Amino acid sequence: MSCLIYRHLQKRSEFLRAAARGVKAVRHGVVIQAYPSALPVGVGFTVTRKLGNAVVRNRIRRRLRAAFQEVVKEVEVPAGDYVLIGRKTTDAEVFLKLVADIKSGVLACGKKMSANQTK
């Protein structure tokens, strides 16, 4: 039982908007796409079928969700919609390294989004 401190992206259009018009940060364990939003922080998780069967994909998704929750507890995440895309290395990655990857990616995306808004 954890308290929800972000909203979930649910519509396909939200995922596509982050991919098409947002900023991107690639890390060893995860790819993060972000799009600025006036709403509270939103997050969605994507794991493709080429990463494995349903058991593997669900494990990767759970690890991404747990790591993102740790990041939200540690740092103030810039407002926006974030899409976390699992990679082949996500499943075997040490959890603390995955948290560090997501933290650095989210902060990098936040800087890019704020730089784009000031232009």
pLDDT of 1 over the 50 cut? no
CA atoms within 13 A on the CB side of 86: 25
Q: How many Å apart are CA 108 and CA 36, to the nearest integer? A: 13
Residue 25's nearest CA partner among 81, 102, 117 is 102
DSSP designation for 87: -
Per-residue pLDDT tens over the stretch 43-85: 999 999 999 999 999 999 999 999 999 999 988 888 889 999 9
Domain annotation for the chain: domains and CATH numbers:
7-111 (3.30.230.10)
Q: Report the pLDDT averaged over residues 19-42.
A: 92
